[in-house]
Structure 1
Amino acid sequence: MERAAPYLILIGRVLLSIIFIQAGWGKIFSYAGTAGYMQAAGVPGALLPLVILTELGGGLLILLGLFTRWAALALAGFCLLSGWLFHYQPGDMAQMISFMKNITIAGGLLVLAGSGPGAYALDSRLR
Structure 2
Amino acid sequence: MARGSSWGDAADLVGRVLLTAFFIIFGFLKITGYAGFAKYMESKGVPSVLLPLVIATELGCGFALLLGWRTRVAAFLLAGFALLSNLIFHPALSDMTGQIIVLAELATAGGLLVLTAHGAGGWSLDARRTAQQSVLTVSGANAYATTSHS
Taking structure 2 as the reference length, the TM-score comes to: 0.82
Q: CA RMSD in A?
A: 0.9
Q: Is 2:43 the counterpart of 1:30?
A: no
Aligned-residue offset at 1:93:
2.3
Aligned residues: 127
Aligned-partner residue type, residue 24 of structure 1: G
Is 1:101 the counterpart of 2:81? The answer is: no
User: Which residue in 2 is equivalent to 1:71?
Assistant: 74
Match among 101, 125, 129 for residue 126 of structure 1: 129
Alignment of 1:37-116 (within 5 A): 37-116=40-119
Q: Please list every run of 5 or more consecutive structure 2 residues that lacks an aligned counterpart in the other structure.
A: 131-150
TM-score (norm. length: structure 1): 0.96
Amino acid at match of 1:8: A
Q: Which amino acid aligns with 1:18?
A: A
1:90 partner amino acid: L
Give 5+ residue unaligned stretches, structure 1: none
CA shift, 1:32, in A, is 0.3
User: Who is 1:7 aligned against?
Assistant: 10
Larger-Rg structure? 2
Alpha-carbon distance in structure 2 between the residues aligned to 1:75 and 1:90: 22
Deviations along 1:45-95, whole A, 9 cap, x unmatched? 110000000101111000000000000000000000001101021223212
